[in-house]
Amino acid sequence: MLGCGMARTDDRFRSAYNRLLDICGSMDIGGQLPAETVLADRMDVSRTIVRSALQKLDSDKLIRWEGRNKTLIRKPEPEHRLEVEEGTLSTEELEQRFFEWILRFDVPAGTALNVAQFSRQFGVPVHNLQEFLAGLSRLGLVERRPRGGWFLLGFTSEFAIELSDFRMVLELNAVRQLLTLPPEHEIWQKLETLKQEHEDLKAVLKDRYHDFSLLDEKFHSAINSVVKNRFVLEAQKLIKLIFHYHYMWDKRDELERNAAAIEEHLEWINAILAHDVEKSEAAALKHLRRSKVTLLQSLRGHKFA
């Protein structure tokens, strides 16, 4: 253990060792530690780790370990604790950092992605990045080059158009399903609340137009929540991501855009609450079409900024 080039972090060992110190701390000198299996169970690690930790406790003269006797001979002090590395970025965080990078620097489609550089920049093992990019390739955002490496595909106008069209298909389907739901379904109450929230924000929009982004997400999530389907959900995660990030970086005409969107949302909500299928679909289409145009404009804006 602790060779010069450690092929794998011993993080799990270190945190287990510290937890074992805690256990020792709550015991009296001369007391016996429980069996290896019991410790392994209690700390949710393998016996291998328990045994390594016990070995270290023994060689550090905190316990005397002979066969199945593990006698505490000294109370652990704070300096006995091992430093535990802070965890690496989660997939969600990595996703955030990646999209932020793309949009902040207007990375154009076709750009080669340097895994080693990302690894340094984000402090993420190359391995995790490969995995992350492989996932994105299924979504058509990146592609593998014939001989190693990756390159960015997405964020062209075509991508935005197709994503928006896909969004339309999914949300119109959600609207159709929604309108067949019985009056006792929670969605109706949700929509009443959302209507009120839209009207409240509309009244103070000039001062608080930044707040619309959150409300927008809440509204679309509510509409989509009636469809219980893992494929739809997965697709919506991507849609939310792209639209969210683009709005975050495109601040032109934000007040006007949000004012128009609120009106469209209200028209849509009212049509649904009136159980008017035709009007609901029309209102949905109107809003989604304008959303598509906005996304396209934000892309062009970025490109020629």
Partner DNA sequence: ATTTTGAATTTAATAATTAAATACAATATG
Partner DNA sequence: CATATTGTATTTAATTATTAAATTCAAAAT
By the criterion CB under 7 A, which residues form the site for DNA? Answer: 1-14, 35-38, 45-49, 51-52, 67-68, 70, 88, 112, 114-117, 125-128, 130, 147-149
At residue 72, the 3 state secondary structure works out as strand
Identity of the residue, 198 or 246, whose beta carbon is nearer to a second copy in the bound complex: 246
Amino acid letter, residue 166 = F
Q: Does residue 197 contact residue 262 with C-beta atoms inside 8 Å?
A: no
* The entry of a second copy, DNA, none that residue 3 binds, CB within 5 to 8 Å by partner kind: DNA
Chosen from a second copy, DNA, none, partner binding at 149 (C-beta under 5 to 8 Å by type): DNA
Three-class secondary structure of residue 120 per DSSP: helix
First-last CA distance in the chain: 54
Least CB distance to DNA at residue 51 (A): 6
Q: Which is nearer to a second copy, 139 or 259 (CB)?
A: 139
Q: What, of a second copy, DNA, none, does residue 169 touch, CB below 5 to 8 Å by kind?
A: a second copy
134 is in the binding site of which of DNA, a second copy, none (Cβ under 5 to 8 A by kind)?
a second copy
Question: Which class for 229: exposed (0-12), middle (13-18), buried (19 or more C-beta within 10 A)?
Answer: middle
Give the nearer residue to DNA in terms of CB position, either 85 or 192: 85
The amino acid present at 83, given as its one-letter code, is E
Residue 234 CB, shortest distance to DNA, in Å, is: 22
Q: Quick one: 239 or 283, whose CB is closer to a second copy? A: 239
Q: Is the Cβ–Cβ distance between 36 and 73 less than 8 Å?
A: no
Phi and psi at residue 63, in whole multiples of 5°?
-130, 160
Distance CA 129, CA 258 (A): 36
Binding-site partner at residue 140 among a second copy, DNA, none, CB < 5 to 8 Å by type: a second copy
> What, of DNA, a second copy, none, does residue 5 touch, CB below 5 to 8 Å by kind?
DNA
Nearer to a second copy, 42 or 127 (CB): 127
Which residues of this protein are in contact with a second copy, per CB under 8 A? 12, 127, 130-132, 134-140, 147, 159, 162-163, 165-166, 169-170, 173, 228-232, 234-235
C-alpha 85: how far from chain center: 22
- List beta partners, residue 28: none
155: three-class secondary structure by DSSP: coil
Q: Least distance (Å) from DNA to the CB of residue 59?
A: 14
Quote the strand ranges of 6-60, DSSP E.
none
